[in-house]
Amino acid sequence: MAMNPSAMFQVMEAFKRFQSNHPKVVSYVKTVFGPGLPEGTVLEITCTKPGEEPVTTNMKITQDDLDLLQSLKNIQG
């Protein structure tokens, strides 16, 4: 499955804006995910919308998850 070069450029530009707008998130992701996540790692996510109570969920990383992440890395190049 080949990606349209124009679409790829748009995604890259959007990611540059994301990095500029959210440098702490990008730094966090590099620190936590950079060395890799071993199977069994638990990720917890909390979302707090304005005027609403926080909603939290978590997931335990499985080998299938790691395989998917590796596939995505391979697509990226």
Q: pLDDT per residue over 58-73, tens digit each?
A: 999 999 998 988 888 7
Give Cα 5 to chain centroid, integer Å.
Answer: 22
**How far is residue 16's CA from residue 13's CA, in Å, rounded to a whole number?**
5
Q: Which residue would you say has higher pLDDT here, 34 or 51?
A: 51
What was the pLDDT predicted at 46? 97
Percentage, residues of the chain above pLDDT 90: 55
Q: Which residue would you say has higher pLDDT here, 58 or 35?
A: 58
